[in-house]
Amino acid sequence: MKIIVPVKRVVDANIKIRVKADASGVELANVKMAMNPFDEIAVEEALRLKEAGKASEIIVVSVGAASAAETIRTALAMGADRGILVKAEGRVEPLAVAKLLKAIVAREEPGLVILGKQAIDDDSNQTGQMLAALLDWPQGTFASKVAVDGGQVEVTREVDGGLQTVSLALPAVVTTDLRLNEPRYASLPNIMKAKKKPLDETTPEALGVDATPRLEIVSTREPSGRQAGIKVASAAELVQKLKTAGVI
Partner 1 sequence: MATLLIADHDGVRLGDATAKALTAARQIGAPVDVLVAGDGVAAIAAQAASLAGVARVLVAEGAVLANLLAEPLAELVIRITDAYTVIAAPATSAMKNALPRVAARLDVMQISDVTKVLAADTFERPIYAGNALETVRSDEAKRVLTIRAAAFPASEAGDANAPIEALPAPAASSTSRFVGADLSTSTRPELGSARIIVSGGRALGSAEKFDAVVAPLADRLGAAIGASRAAVDSGYAPNDLQVGQTGKIVAPELYVALGISGAIQHLAGMKDSKVIVAINKDPDAPIFQIADYGLEEDLFTAVPAMMDALA
Ligand X SMILES: Cc1cc2nc3c(=O)[nH]c(=O)nc-3n(C[C@H](O)[C@H](O)[C@H](O)COP(=O)(O)OP(=O)(O)OC[C@H]3O[C@@H](n4cnc5c(N)ncnc54)[C@H](O)[C@@H]3O)c2cc1C
Span 20-59, contacts to partner 1 by CB under 8 A: 26
CA distances from 62 to 4, 47, 66, 145 (A): 11, 17, 10, 24
Residue whose CB is nearest to ligand X in the complex, by number: 116
Among 73, 74, 127, 209, binds ligand X (CB under 6 A): 127
Kindly state whether residue 242 participates in binding partner 1, applying the rule CB under 8 A.
Answer: yes
**Residue 167 or 187 having the CB closest to partner 1:** 167
Minimum CB separation from ligand X for residue 240, in Å? Answer: 20
Work out how close the CB of 68 gets to ligand X at its nearest, in angstroms, rounded to a whole number.
6
Of 188 and 248, CB closest to partner 1: 248
Q: Is 217 in the site for partner 1 (CB under 8 A)?
A: yes
156 binding ligand X? (CB under 6 A): no
DSSP per-residue letters across 97-124: HHHHHHHHHHHH--SEEEEES--TTT--
CB of 175 to ligand X, least distance (A): 7
Stretch that binds ligand X, among 77-85, 87-95, 154-162, 203-211 (CB under 6 A): 87-95
Contacts by residues 208-213 (CB-CB < 8 Å, ≥ 24 positions apart)? 208/103, 209/96, 209/99, 209/100, 209/103, 210/96, 211/88, 211/92, 211/96, 211/99, 211/100, 212/96, 213/90, 213/91, 213/92, 213/93, 213/96
To the nearest whole angstrom, how small is the minimum distance from the Cβ of residue 241 to ligand X?
A: 19
